[in-house]
A and B are shown apart, each in its own frame.
Chain A
Amino acid sequence: MPNNPLVLAPVFIPLLFAVLTLGVARVNTNNNTAQRYVALLGSAIGTAFALVILGQNWMIAQAGDAQGAVQVYRLGGWQPPYGIIFTVDLLSSIFAAMSSVVVTAGILYAVRCKDKCVTYPAFMPLFLCMGGSLIGCFYTGDIFTLFVFLELMVLSSVVLVAISDNKLGLEAAIKYLMISATGTLFLLIGIAALYATFSTLNFADIARLLQTGERPLLAQAATVMLGAVFLVKSAVFPFHFWQPDFHTTAPTPVHSVLSSVVVKVGVYGLLRMITLLFTEEAALINQILMLLGIVGIFFGSLGALQTYDAKRMLAYSTFGQIGFILVGIGWNNPIALIGAIIYAVNHAFIKSAMLMLVGVVSSRNTMKTAKIKHIAGVGKPFPLVGILYFLGGMALAGVPPLNGFISKLALVRGGIETHEWLALGLAVAAGMITLLYVTRTYVLMFQQQPNADSATIKEKGMGDSAFAPFLLISLCVLLGIFATPLVELVTLAVSQMSDPYIYIRAVLGAL
């Protein structure tokens, strides 16, 4: 059981730089360029470490040592199950690498972003806090630390939305804080129930005790509580009502992180619940997830179709795409699970890139909004942005050779494998709606003549704000053409998740 201190870096380097950026911030000026570059540096270093850890895990797993590919760091040096522990298996490292790449791209976008809120001295520290705590959620191996990181993430994202340029941000922030903080309260009840039953907080130790088959009443209550929390966090059907408002009113760089990776925390939690903790209840949970996923796909896609704002459309679209992921998890089959994880990774890159492109276009009109009536034709002078948006939209709809096609293909293969024909048909049919709303906004923004009376277009250069979405879209194209490494990596991760005892032994040693 080697102790790898490297796994602290992706979590604590962004948090350290959050403090540093507060130090370089200059109050009462609108020129905080130095602060933004320091933030970008911090996030890039964190991303590099996250990628290194992913690479290490991948190489160990490829050598056939599934148990060695779970890296641990025991903070304070206590032997598990005592003390706080960071546990990084392949699933954690995939999700953490994905989110740190997206967060870095968000900061890169924010460096050149024209929004007023980006110039506030508190913006970058909060953004880094959100990024660091996000990765903390994925890396932690102990359920109370998960609660702490979730709260940190909620609080920093609430403030980021409350200071948004959009006047409605404040209202949405209050709404989200109430819902999300109450949601994490239920996580606390779940933790207390688990602690009352098993007297431990370590994921591996809880899993070991649950594997013995004992199910006191409090542990069953904890299952429900944890499930509800993760469903709230990823805005799944009955708990989705806060998501479009909160995400639409967020500043564009924050929106591109919230809508793509922050909602994946819930997905990650559900995956952990099903594959590690509550493996015996997994069949029932999977049934519920599949049902909620199908409803979410339809609700989200139809909502995206008839909304009045391009950013809101993409927020609804996230709601639908999370539905696809949940259906993949709910099929309860290794191949479908591979599909679901690939879908989660690809969707993060596509969605954040598309949101940044909408932000680029909407900052060109004088109203600074993405409302359909103000945004029509605004992107017409910028064909390069149009091409990027088109590529992103096609990837979202799942057109080959882009990465969205790979994820849809993997998911459909899982569906065929499980013979869930009804759910498969519904999911594929609803996926077609994606093509409809993406094409419609593309034509609206980049092909129509500008709407003369409502908005005038500022004739300025595009700046570098299209650089971050360009990087993400090229990543999407690359992951579409060279899909094999990602598929192999996720296959290794799923084979590691298939046996909870790999995780348990890696943390607790030989049983």
Chain B
Amino acid sequence: MNIIFAIATGIMFGLGVFQLLRRDLIKMAMGFYILFTAINFFFLAVGVFDGNVPAYVAPKDDGVSPLYLDNGEVVARDIGMTDNPQPARPSDPLVQALLLTAIVISFGSFALLLGLINVASVRFKTLDSDQVNNLKA
């Protein structure tokens, strides 16, 4: 799994940087979003695959969480591992919380960027960043 994630993150990172350097402003914005997603992948790979059970499972009706034995020992059972119970390592919930925040922020920045590019395309009648060059005095 790690190898797949490493390759995917690498490809998306390269793609994002390549698109970020394009002349077309929309492609540039897309590159920004791809880059952000690549970093989200990296974040995901940091901690999400460490454990073998979910971070939290709601207790059943009898009040017992399916992750715990009656004597309190943590065991992965009832999630397809009943044949071979082994000590459960809950996966890291913090990574997912951080990831959600990062996704929201990336979405906000991307929306703002697209809005600005929209206004710029109306004002300059072009999306070619080489012709949006009024700042060159």
Contacts and interface: CB of A to CB of B under 8 A. Distances in A.
A489 B58 CA distance: 52
B35 A182 contact: yes
Contact of B43 (A148, A151, A154, A192): A192
Contacts of A158: 112, 116
Given A144-B98, A182-B35, A174 B117 contact: yes
A148 B100 CA distance: 12
A178 B16 CA distance: 13
Contact of B113 (A181, A249, A308): A181
Contact of B120 (A170, A199, A201): A170
A110 B56 CA distance: 50
A158 B116 CA distance: 10
B57 to A, nearest CB: 20
Contact of B39 (A154, A175, A188, A245): A188
B126 interface: no
Interface in B120-135: 120, 123, 132, 134-135
Interface residues of B, number: 31
A185 B36 contact: yes
B67 interface: no
Main secondary structure of the interface of B (DSSP, over half): helix
Interface string B86-128: 0000001011001001100100110011001101100100000
Nearest to B17: A182
A181 B109 contact: yes
Contact of A171 (B42, B101, B134): B134
A245 B116 contact: no
A458 interface: no
Contacts of B112: 155, 158-159, 177
A168 B134 contact: yes
Interface in A213-266: 245, 249
Given A155-B112, A182-B20, A192-B46, A168 B135 contact: yes
B96 to A, nearest CB: 12
A169 B49 CA distance: 45
Contacts of A195: 46-47, 94-95, 98
A328 to B, nearest CB: 32
Contacts of B28: 178
Contacts of B120: 170-171, 174
A107 interface: no
